[in-house]
Amino acid sequence: MLLGIISSLLWWAVIIFIIVKLVSGGRKKHYSWLQRELPLWEEKNIINKEQGDAVLSLYKLKRVTARKKMDMVKVLTLIGVIFVGLGVIFFVGSNWQRIPSHIRATMLLAITIATLYTGYIFSYEKEGFANLGKSLLLLASLFWGGSIALIGQIYNIPTSENWYIILLWAFPILPIAILFKNDYVHILASVLLIIWNFLYSSDNNIANYYYPIIVFLLILPTAKNLILSRRINIIGLLSASFYCCFNKYEWLALLISAGLLAGYLARKEERVYLYSACLSFIFWNIAYFTVRQLQPNLFFLLPMGFMLYLTYKDNIEKNLVFCLAGLMIGTNLALSSVSQIVNYPFNGLQFIIFQSLLGISIYSAGIVSRNRGYLFPIIYKISGCLVTFICVYLLAFKALLEEWAGAANNAYLFGSLILAGIIALLMVDEKNSGNFKNKSRRIELAALVAALIGSIILLVSPRTVLLNTIAINSVLVVFALSSIFLGVELKKPPIFTLGILIFALFIITRYIDLTWALKEKSLFFIVGGLVILSIGTLLEKQRRKIIERMKPE
Amino acid sequence: MNKKLIFIAVSFLWIAVAVGLVISKQHIIRTGKTVFLETMPVDPRDFLRGDYVILRYKISTIDLRQIQSEESYYGQGKKVYVKLEPRERFWEVTAVKTKKPVSDNGIYIKARVKYCYNRKLELNYGIESYFVPEGEGKDIEKNMRGNKSLVEVEALVDTSGNAIIKKVFAR
């Protein structure tokens, strides 16, 4: 079961990555390039300032101030400080015996305080050495870690209590990070607190509630102008929440999720809080499931509903992907709980079909959103398309169909049938409303109906492996053809190319699938290579021709 | 806030934490009673503090059926007090209690439960690491393995049950 959860998380990680890249990746890269280049064009009098502003407003971009040039002295000082600090820690590690340990500890502590003093003098008493002072305060903080580690070594504090050493290092440097507003030490303290959290939890086998409380109440509020530290702490919180999934710390995950959500509500411009809150609520749901396997987590609907509300209200398209992932994982966990209550076995085939139907539902939501003018139809469509395609592609392997068809799980069966019913009703309603009149929409509908029929065939007759293989491979071909035709119809080369890719993938997979069992592997590769080369050349030639034809129009 | 004041406060805090840590350990050394424990070592490396020998004690695993025990099961992470008494060369466990008896003047060492299964108790005493000069950990282990000898630990236990390693030597 846990393997299923992890694999579905991995799937979603891949899907989220692809969608985020598709939705914003390329555009963002071009936008930031444009933002950087515009001042240069204005400087060279290629365009004037008004034209520059017009270009920026066209793409809803802000004028960026010239990036600060990297200060070589600052960088070298910082590197030097880190080297000296690490050197001292390694020196402590080597447990050098020529000087008695207590004298060593006293000397190191004295050097630490002296460095702290020098750092203070250069930062606040002498003018013009602020950067050096800042770096020396970092060095003092590193020396402090060395001093504590040395005392721990002298008294043989066991490695199972390393969390205690790290805590004694991290806490006393916080006044420097916060009251002296030292960015470097703030980052060092944040990293140390993350390490402390994991060591504390793993060494004591208990949930560390102190960590999120410290981060939310002390670290994040004091990192207002320090984006790197905020990001590090959010990663720390997210990894702490993820750790909860495997250790049954459901309350800790809930606390972290609620804190991140509050962080977003307090700082709406920082959307990363909302994304992480959404992910953390997903981890909370998984942790809840591992603790109370027989109780479906209906409470999960509350934060997810609120997340969806915020996504629409604040128009944050990327967060919709996290919400969809959360709802999909949540539905699966709820069905798993129901299966365990009524003692239904796990059935891999039904599990994948259910995911495929969830994908089709998400795509259908995209169609409805487009037809009715709601937000984010593209996100729904890309997410639904990817989920459905991955499932159909997996189902197209005959060997897997044979292997997965086990004892029926009625929870997944009924769940799938309900989903299929909802999709069918939605599409009938859309058709009756006259929303499938033009050719491109009819092509889209054909692919959707094919996927629906394929899934239902597999669902109702899981034992007829040959029929199922033919049915699901036909769905894959319909996907490829509909994507090709849709690309031509809408004059969108990416959709057309996607169709070609699906088709090529289909041919390669089926070739491997059917001929891998042959004893003569050399023949397999030679013939396969030749076939792929010829088909590839042919398809590429045709693809270019068609894309060229699309351009002038 | 006055920066000079912050500097002074941080300096005091650092000195106080360091001295406090030293005093807490020195207290065990000053007031602790000596016990001899039988061990089996292995050699890893701590990223922060260099080479150390992991010490696994004979008293780390206790069969609750063979000693006096208040309970038959102890939860993971629970704090317990283990009564030690001298038997020939080494000190051995005679009882496990959840609280240190006030009237008993015997030696009780504080421990944390790693796990408890089938009435077998696995404990951590906080004296499981012994730091040695870099590179010497492997030599010590090799020598001990070659001579097939056991390692003996002289530890000190204070009245609150806190323990500290005084000396480690091959027998």
Contact check, Cβ <8 Å, A156/B14:
no
| Nearest beta carbon to residue B17 from set A117, A123, A168 | A168
Q: How far is Cα A360 from Cα A418, in angstroms, rounded to an integer? A: 13
Other Cβ atoms less than 10 A from the Cβ of B104: the count is 12
Q: What is the pLDDT of residue A461?
A: 82
User: Which pair of tokens denotes residue A200?
Assistant: 């504390």
Task: Write the DSSP symbol of residue A62.
Answer: P
| Nearest beta carbon to residue B6 from set A89, A159, A180 | A180
Cβ contacts (< 8 Å) between A113 and chain B: which residues? 11, 14-15
Contact check, Cβ <8 Å, A113/B131:
no
Mean pLDDT of B127-141: 75
| Nearest beta carbon to residue A158 from set B3, B128, B134 | B128
Q: Is the pLDDT of residue B94 over 80?
A: yes
Q: What is the pLDDT of residue B140?
A: 65
pLDDT, tens digit, for every residue of A275-328? 999 999 999 999 999 998 888 899 999 999 999 999 999 999 889 999 999 999
* Distance to chain A for B127, nearest Cα, Å: 6
**Residue A47: helix, strand or coil by DSSP?**
coil
User: Which pair of tokens denotes residue A460?
Assistant: 């109702």
Q: What is the pLDDT of residue A34?
A: 81
Mean pLDDT of B93-101: 89
* Distance to chain B for A326, nearest Cα, Å: 33
- What average pLDDT does chain A have? 85
Q: How confident is the model at residue B129 (pLDDT cuts 50, 70, 90)?
A: confident
Q: Is A537 on the interface with B (CB under 8 A)?
A: no
Q: How far is Cα A121 from Cα A111, in angstroms, rounded to an integer? A: 15
Report the DSSP beta bridge partners of residue B117: B120
User: Which pair of tokens denotes residue A472?
Assistant: 């699901």
Q: Is A183 on the interface with B (CB under 8 A)?
A: no
Q: How far is Cα A297 from Cα A337, in angstroms, rounded to an integer? A: 9
Q: Cβ(A48)–Cβ(A62) under 8 Å? A: no
* Distance to chain B for A170, nearest Cα, Å: 11
Cβ partners under 8 Å of residue A32, min gap 6: none
- Residues of A (96-115) whose Cβ lies below 8 Å from B: 96-97, 105, 109, 112-113
CA-nearest of A346, A376, A348 to A362 is: A376
Q: What is the pLDDT of residue A489?
A: 82
Q: What is the pLDDT of residue A425?
A: 93
Cβ contacts (< 8 Å) between A206 and chain B: which residues? 77
Cβ partners under 8 Å of residue A23, min gap 6: A317, A318, A378, A379, A382
Cβ contacts (< 8 Å) between B7 and chain A: which residues? 116-117, 120
Cβ contacts (< 8 Å) between B49 and chain A: which residues? 92-93, 95, 149-150, 152-153
* Distance to chain B for A5, nearest Cα, Å: 27
**Residue A1: helix, strand or coil by DSSP?**
coil
Q: Quick one: CA dihedral A305, A307, A308, A314, positive or negative?
A: positive
Q: Kindly report which listed range (A54-58, A268-272, A357-361, A453-457) carries the lowest average pLDDT score.
A: A54-58
Q: Quick one: CA dihedral A122, A128, A130, A132, positive or negative?
A: negative
CA-nearest of A442, A514, A510 to A482 is: A442
Distance of CA A461 to the CA centre of its chain: 36
Q: How confident is the model at residue A22 (pLDDT cuts 50, 70, 90)?
A: low
* Distance to chain A for B20, nearest Cα, Å: 11
Q: Is the pLDDT of residue A532 over 90?
A: no
- Percentage of the residues of chain A whose pLDDT score is greater than 70: 90
Q: Is the pLDDT of residue A533 over 80?
A: no
Q: What is the pLDDT of residue A384?
A: 92
Contact check, Cβ <8 Å, A95/B3:
no
Select from A159, A160, A166, A173 the residue whose CB has the most chain B CBs within 10 Å, as the one to mutate to test that interface.
A159
Q: Cβ(A388)–Cβ(A359) under 8 Å? A: yes
pLDDT, tens digit, for every residue of A100-151? 878 888 988 999 999 999 999 999 988 888 888 999 999 999 999 999 998 9
Q: What is the pLDDT of residue A421?
A: 93
Instruction: Report in angstroms the alpha-carbon separations of A533 from A480, A504, A528.
Output: 19, 11, 8
Q: Kindly report which listed range (A92-106, B23-37, B41-55) carries the lowest average pLDDT score.
A: B41-55
Q: Is the pLDDT of residue A72 over 80?
A: no
Q: Cβ(A256)–Cβ(A208) under 8 Å? A: no
Q: Is the pLDDT of residue A435 over 90?
A: no
Q: Cβ(A397)–Cβ(A415) under 8 Å? A: no
Q: What is the pLDDT of residue A282?
A: 95
Q: What is the pLDDT of residue B144?
A: 55
- What average pLDDT does chain B have? 84
Per-range mean pLDDT, top range of A257-271, A338-352, B91-105: A257-271
Contact check, Cβ <8 Å, A105/B131:
no
pLDDT, tens digit, for every residue of A48-57? 888 888 888 8
| Nearest beta carbon to residue A204 from set B7, B50, B77 | B77
Helix axes A49-58, A26-43, angle to 10 degrees: 170
Higher pLDDT, A528 or B168: B168
Mean pLDDT of B8-19: 94
* Distance to chain A for B171, nearest Cα, Å: 21
Select from A121, A142, A156 the residue whose CB has the most chain B CBs within 10 Å, as the one to mutate to test that interface.
A156
Q: Which residues of A62-91 are buried (b: 16+ CB within 10 A; e: fewer)?
A: eeeeeeeeeeeeeeebbeebbeebeebbeb
Q: What is the pLDDT of residue B169?
A: 78
| Nearest beta carbon to residue A120 from set B7, B15, B46 | B7
CA atoms within 13 A of residue A394's CA, in its CB half-sphere: 18
Mean pLDDT of B133-145: 65
Q: Is the pLDDT of residue B148 over 60?
A: no
**Backbone angle region of A311, left / alpha / beta, with phi > 0 → left and psi within -120 to 50 → alpha:** alpha
Cβ contacts (< 8 Å) between B6 and chain A: which residues? 175, 179-180
Q: Is the pLDDT of residue B150 over 90?
A: no
Contact check, Cβ <8 Å, B129/A158:
yes
Q: How confident is the model at residue A9 (pLDDT cuts 50, 70, 90)?
A: low
**Residue A64: helix, strand or coil by DSSP?**
coil
User: Searching chain B, which residue's CA lies closest to the CA of residue A120?
Assistant: B7
Q: What is the DSSP annotation of A99-159? A: S-HHHHHHHHHHHHHHHHHHHHIIIIISTT-HHHHHHHHHHHHHHHHHHHHHHHHHTT--G
Is B1 exposed, middle or buried, given 0-12, 13-18 or 19+ CB atoms closer than 10 A?
A: exposed
Q: Is the pLDDT of residue A5 over 70?
A: no
User: Searching chain A, which residue's CA lies closest to the CA of residue B166?
Assistant: A155
CA-nearest of A180, A178, A189, A229 to A211 is: A189
Other Cβ atoms less than 10 A from the Cβ of A154: the count is 19
Q: How far is Cα A498 from Cα A481, in angstroms, rounded to an integer? A: 10
Q: What HEC string does chain B produce?
A: CCHHHHHHHHHHHHHHHHHHHHHHHHHHHHHCEEEEEEEEEECCEECCCEEEEEEEEHHHEEECCCCEECCCCCCCCCEEEEEEEEECCEEEEEEEECCCCCCCCCEEEEEEEEEEECCEEEEECCCCEEECCCCHHHHHHHHHHHHCCCEEEEEEECCCCCEEEEEEEEC
Q: State which amino acid sits at residue A386.
A: L
* Distance to chain B for A259, nearest Cα, Å: 28
Q: What is the pLDDT of residue A387?
A: 92
Q: How confident is the model at residue B142 (pLDDT cuts 50, 70, 90)?
A: low
**Residue A521: helix, strand or coil by DSSP?**
helix
Report the DSSP beta bridge partners of residue A268: none
Q: CA A15, A20, A22 angle in degrees (round to 5)?
A: 95
Q: What is the pLDDT of residue A285?
A: 95
Helix axes A183-204, A227-247, angle to 10 degrees: 10
Q: What is the pLDDT of residue A439?
A: 85
Higher pLDDT, A236 or A536: A236
Chain A / chain B CB contacts < 8 angstroms: 115
First-to-final CA distance of chain A: 53
Q: Is the pLDDT of residue A67 over 60?
A: no
Q: What is the pLDDT of residue B12?
A: 95
Cβ contacts (< 8 Å) between B11 and chain A: which residues? 113, 116-117
Higher pLDDT, A515 or A244: A244
pLDDT, tens digit, for every residue of A456-499? 888 888 778 888 888 888 898 899 889 888 888 888 888 888 88
Q: Kindly report which listed range (A60-74, A115-129, A194-208, B29-43) carries the lowest average pLDDT score.
A: A60-74
Q: How far is Cα A271 from Cα A268, in angstroms, rounded to an integer? A: 6
* Distance to chain A for B115, nearest Cα, Å: 10
| Nearest beta carbon to residue B134 from set A93, A151, A155 | A93
| Nearest beta carbon to residue B165 from set A93, A120, A156 | A156
Q: Is the pLDDT of residue A69 over 60?
A: no
Distance of CA B138 to the CA centre of its chain: 21
pLDDT, tens digit, for every residue of A74-107? 788 888 888 888 887 777 777 666 778 788 889 8
* Distance to chain A for B162, nearest Cα, Å: 12
Q: How far is Cα A355 from Cα A392, in angstroms, rounded to an integer? A: 10
Q: Quick one: CA dihedral A447, A450, A456, A459, positive or negative?
A: negative
Cβ partners under 8 Å of residue A100, min gap 6: none
Cβ partners under 8 Å of residue B62, min gap 6: B82, B93, B96, B120, B121, B123
Q: What is the pLDDT of residue B47?
A: 57
Largest CA distance in chain B: 64
Cβ contacts (< 8 Å) between A106 and chain B: which residues? none
**Backbone angle region of A443, left / alpha / beta, with phi > 0 → left and psi within -120 to 50 → alpha:** alpha
Q: How far is Cα A502 from Cα A480, in angstroms, rounded to an integer? A: 5
Is A470 exposed, middle or buried, given 0-12, 13-18 or 19+ CB atoms closer than 10 A?
A: middle
Contact check, Cβ <8 Å, B46/A93:
yes
Q: How far is Cα A143 from Cα A117, in angstroms, rounded to an integer? A: 13
pLDDT, tens digit, for every residue of A157-182? 888 889 999 999 999 999 999 999 99
User: Searching chain B, which residue's CA lies closest to the CA of residue A200?
Assistant: B77
Q: Is A85 on the interface with B (CB under 8 A)?
A: no
